[in-house]
Amino acid sequence: MAGVRVLVGTRKGAFVLTADGSRKSWDVSGPHFAGWEVYHLKGSPVDPDRVWASQTSSWFGQVIQRSTDGGRTWEPVGNKFVYDGVPGTHQWYDGTPHPWEFARVWHLEPSLTEADTVFAGVQDAALFRTSDGGQSWHELPGLRGHGSGPRWAPGAGGLCLHTILLDPAHPQRMFIAISAAGAFRTDDGGATWTAINRGLRSEGIPDPDAEVGHCVHRIAMHPSRPNVLFMQKHWDVMRSDDAGDSWHEVSGNLPTDFGFALDVHAHEPETVYVVPIKSDSEHFPPDGKLRVYRSRTGGGEWEALTAGLPQRDCYVNVLRDAMAVDALDPCGVYFGTTGGQVYGSASAGDAWTPIVRDLPAVLSVEVQTLP
């Protein structure tokens, strides 16, 4: 019987939640790497037993862990992330130049075709790749070499490269997003990059529709339609139908268009999920009601999904990498909160159940659909 494995990164370790295809009864293992921040875990599409984890600490720096048995046991692999050449400067919060400094890995994206190849998005923003199973990591310097780097500025969480999307139809194409620089696309495997932010408007930067400087929180695609991208920006939910060349707003009737997490239904490319957050200064759901919003029209028209979610006195946040879907039918949707709850829906969002309630603050949620 098919099953799912939910990989949860938290402020104090990693947890692995597993269930069979009914998704009713869950086994919880962890904490793995107890006491460390685990920004992200993700499994390889080529070999689902191979799972990668970004383990990080303000005290002890960055560790990358690899499992070859689905997250039961782990081994540390290479953790040397050194920028290519002289890193130069980006903008600091006050607009002054600040040297590029490696802090941590925010996101690990395993290759769609090579089990030993993984991309890593890091803070300060850059893209690294391993092609030897994590033993060594090398920067793809073309991204920082885009020329706009001196105009990138950190968001509240730092200058982080937090989203990596691999295009299954075009192996040389990938999309990344940086807070606060914007979205970028490569069509040549990472050698050169194009800023894809036309149509975005952001307050808080001198030129609201500048080429770069936008605080993009998350982008997502459906693998069957990789030219269609959805974006949760700092404010505004956006859509592109031309692989990021242009964007238009699809916030529609959302109660607020601020938020972090966003994902696309596994089988319905026009069904999109977001979790509206009150504002950039109040990072919790409006009115104390935790609501996922679903659009079945590719944005614009949204419905609140509330069954099983707290509808009073709820003041958690849902961070950008903390929502994921499984590939079962009906599609499962999962998200984690800064209050330590991981909610799951085995009905595409119609009804929700807490899988766990009392984990440390959840930083990331990924799902593997197992045969």
Partner 1 sequence: MIRVVLPAHLRTLARVDHEILVDVGGQPTVRAVLDAVEARYPMLGGTIRDHATGARRPFLRFFACEEDLSHDPVDARLPDQVIAGAEPFLVIGAMSGG
Query: What is the smallest separation between the CB atom of 89 and partner 1, expressed in angstroms?
Result: 15
63 near partner 1, judged by CB under 8 A: yes
User: In terms of C-beta distances under 8 Å and separation of at least 24 residues, what long-range contacts does 292-297 make, across chains too?
Assistant: 292/333, 292/335, 292/349, 292/352, 293/254, 293/255, 294/348, 294/349, 295/250, 295/252, 295/270, 295/271, 296/268, 296/270, 296/271, 297/270
57 near partner 1, judged by CB under 8 A: yes
Of the candidates 52, 102, 119, 335, which one interacts with partner 1 according to CB under 8 A? 102
Closest to partner 1 by CB, 158 vs 255, is 158
Closest to partner 1 by CB, 27 vs 101, is 101
Query: What is the smallest separation between the CB atom of 365 and partner 1, expressed in angstroms?
Result: 22
Omega before residue 236 within 30° of 0, cis: no
Closest to partner 1 by CB, 56 vs 232, is 56
Closest to partner 1 by CB, 61 vs 88, is 61
Closest to partner 1 by CB, 76 vs 208, is 76
- The H-assigned helical ranges of the chain are none
* Contact characters 24-53, partner 1, x per CB under 8 A: ----------xxx-----------------
Closest to partner 1 by CB, 36 vs 175, is 36
Query: What distances in angstroms separate CA 124 from CA 74, 92, 120, one per listed residue?
Result: 26, 11, 12
Nearest one of 269, 275, 334, 271 to 305, comparing CA atoms: 275
82 near partner 1, judged by CB under 8 A: yes
CB 159 within 8 A of CB 121: no
Query: What distances in angstroms separate CA 249 from CA 221, 304, 333, one per listed residue?
Result: 16, 19, 24
Applying CB under 8 A, the site for partner 1 has a residue count of 17
Of the candidates 47, 76, 113, 303, which one interacts with partner 1 according to CB under 8 A? 76
In this structure, the number of other CB atoms found within 10 A of the CB of residue 49 comes to 16
Of the candidates 15, 39, 52, 81, which one interacts with partner 1 according to CB under 8 A? 81
Query: What is the smallest separation between the CB atom of 23 and partner 1, expressed in angstroms?
Result: 33
The residue with tokens 């390889």 is: 44
Query: What is the smallest separation between the CB atom of 211 and partner 1, expressed in angstroms?
Result: 29
CB 266 within 8 A of CB 325: yes
Q: Distance between CA atoms of 285 and 32, rounded to whole angstroms?
A: 29
Query: What is the smallest separation between the CB atom of 11 and partner 1, expressed in angstroms?
Result: 8
61 near partner 1, judged by CB under 8 A: yes
**What residues contact 145, with CB distance under 8 A and at least 6 apart?**
none
Q: Distance between CA atoms of 36 and 62, rounded to whole angstroms?
A: 10
Closest to partner 1 by CB, 299 vs 339, is 339
Query: What is the smallest separation between the CB atom of 29 and partner 1, expressed in angstroms?
Result: 17
* Contact characters 305-334, partner 1, x per CB under 8 A: ------------------------------
Where along the sequence are the contacts to partner 1 (CB under 8 A)? 34-36, 57-63, 76, 79-83, 102
